[in-house]
Amino acid sequence: MTGFESKEQFQEIFNKFWTKAKEHTEIMEKLAKSQVVVRFDIEDPEVHMTINFRDPGPSGEIGTLTFDSDVEPEISVWSKSETTNKFWQGKLNTTVAMARGQVKLDGSVAKALGLLSKIKPLYDVYPEILKEMGLNHMLL
């Protein structure tokens, strides 16, 4: 599997991904109804990414993506960067990954599973970003 080369690369990819993801207003509206804050704690490289569907962002939007946020999450997800890359391409069986310790979850499992079903359409967006950035070696 292929992970991210650096924290900066991770941030660049996910900033572009989230900008594109927010164009899918129907998905974002469903996610906004969850009113949840999720923090992804990634290893290799170390990155802390928070997606906030509870508090409005600077422009009043719901569903902000930030790095190294001090907002307290309801759900925290830990994984290595290779696993994160696989997840956002829709190539990870989350239940199996949790059983194997490749993904660790703190918080409401029910809420996390509810979010999973809502974000599935975004699995098509992430590989598009990798292709646009010339990162074909990260595609699975």
Between CA 8 and CA 63 the distance in angstroms is 21
Q: What is the pLDDT of residue 113?
A: 86
Where along the chain do its domains lie?
7-132
Q: What is the pTM of this model?
A: 0.94
Q: What is the pLDDT of residue 2?
A: 82
3-class DSSP state of 13: helix
Q: What is the CATH number of domain 7-132?
A: 3.30.1050.10
Buried b (16+ CB within 10 A) or exposed e, 62-93: bbbbeeebeeebbbbbbbbbbbbbbbbbeebe
H-run or E-run covering 49: strand 47-52
Q: What is the pLDDT along the chain (140 residues), one digit of tens a residue?
A: 589 999 999 999 999 999 999 999 999 999 999 999 999 999 999 999 999 999 988 888 889 999 999 999 999 999 999 999 999 999 999 989 999 999 999 999 889 988 998 999 999 999 999 999 999 999 99
Residue with tokens 């941030």: 11
